[in-house]
A = this chain, B = another copy of it.
Amino acid sequence: MPDRPIPTLHDIISARKVVNQHLKPTPLHFYNSLSELLDAQVWVKHENHQPAGAFKVRGGVNLAAGLSEAEKKRGLFTASTGNHGQSIAYAARVQGIRAVIAVPEGANPAKVNAMRRLGAEVRFHGPDFDSAREWIMAEAQAQGGHYVGPTEEALICGVGSYVLEIVEELPDLDAIIVPVGGGSSASAAGIVLKNINEKIEVIGCQSAQAPAAQLSWAAGKIVTAPMKTFAEGVATRVPFENTQRIMRQYLDDFLLVDDREIEAAILLYLQLTHNLAEGAGAIPLATALKHKARFAGKKIVLVLSGGNLHVEKLRSIISRHRGH
């Protein structure tokens, strides 16, 4: 299969116009408290304030808006147990089209309910994510619908709208720290920022308990790795070739932090900014803390990518970290 073309800055600027028709810009807040802690000037991009609680919805609305009338009639098909599924459900509702989302049997009922409330048809299939995904791909083909892969170019372009918002509000940022799951967000950050000012550092980050994307980036080829992190937004076992190619071109570095450090960052966000971050969303803060000297004195943006953390998980984090 020939390489798919890498989206350009122009593609992302065009997608932003579409995204703006459906979603408002999210806040970019400066925090004194985090700045003191990190000896840096620290801004947070609040993608946790999106309607579905995560940045992915930007990609979904761009993809759905770009379908032909014939494609819209046949609907969107995808597999997901988390933010991606909610994003596609949201985007389908905005366009008034059908969304069919496959989830493994035993999927989190809260997330299934969230997708259903957005009007999606949820189909349980197979014991794990991969079997649900294989089933829905076949189903999309049988019904002539559009199967949405997790790192499609239309998703990357839509997601890039958040990076444009950052650079327009804070054009002299020195570095951005972005969590990597499938890689669409970090890819978009690289395309936008490096084409505007190559001196802006673009740093990817991930859980050390799910390092496949980082190992693949470092090795220059796709590598799989064990996946044990609680941070489902970055729980990637098999990386994606298209986003890996973009990240190899554009990322300055790709850092790992332990789940325990991610949990501590969730608590810090809660205590110092009163924002609920999901695991993936807290990784940039954990990364900045771990590599404090590297970012000292700089203007840095932490991407708080989502806030969909389960209440029981939050309780256990608070309990275990008490008094630390």
Contacts and interface: CB of A to CB of B under 8 A. Distances in A.
A276 B49 CA distance: 11
Contacts of A36: 117
Contact of A117 (B27, B33, B275, B276): B33
Given A49-B49, A117-B33, A319 B309 contact: no
A262 to B, nearest CB: 16
A117 B270 CA distance: 17
Nearest to A323: B312
A315 B319 contact: yes
Contacts of A322: 312, 315
Contact of A314 (B49, B51, B114, B318): B318
Contacts of A104: none
A45 interface: no
Give the most central of A114, A117, A308: most B CB within 10 Å: A117
B308 A274 contact: yes
A158 interface: no
Interface string A12-49: 00000000000010010100110010000000001011
A121 to B, nearest CB: 15
A311 interface: yes
Contact of A276 (B267, B270, B312, B315): B270
Contact of A49 (B27, B117, B267, B311): B27
A307 interface: yes
A220 to B, nearest CB: 37
Contacts of A51: 29
Copies in the complex: 2
Nearest to A117: B32
Given A32-B117, A49-B27, A314 B270 contact: yes
A292 B29 CA distance: 36
Contact of A274 (B46, B271, B309): B309
A113 B33 CA distance: 9
Contact of A315 (B53, B110, B315): B315
Given A33-B114, A36-B117, A48-B274, 12 more contacts: A32-B118, A33-B113, A53-B274, A270-B311, A274-B278, A274-B308, A274-B309, A275-B307, A276-B276, A315-B318, A315-B319, A319-B319
28 contacts: A24-B27, A27-B49, A29-B51, A33-B117, A36-B117, A46-B49, A48-B274, A49-B49, A53-B273, A110-B271, A267-B311, A270-B276, A270-B311, A270-B314, A271-B311, A274-B278, A274-B307, A274-B308, A274-B309, A275-B307, A276-B276, A311-B318, A312-B318, A314-B314, A314-B318, A315-B315, A318-B318, A319-B319
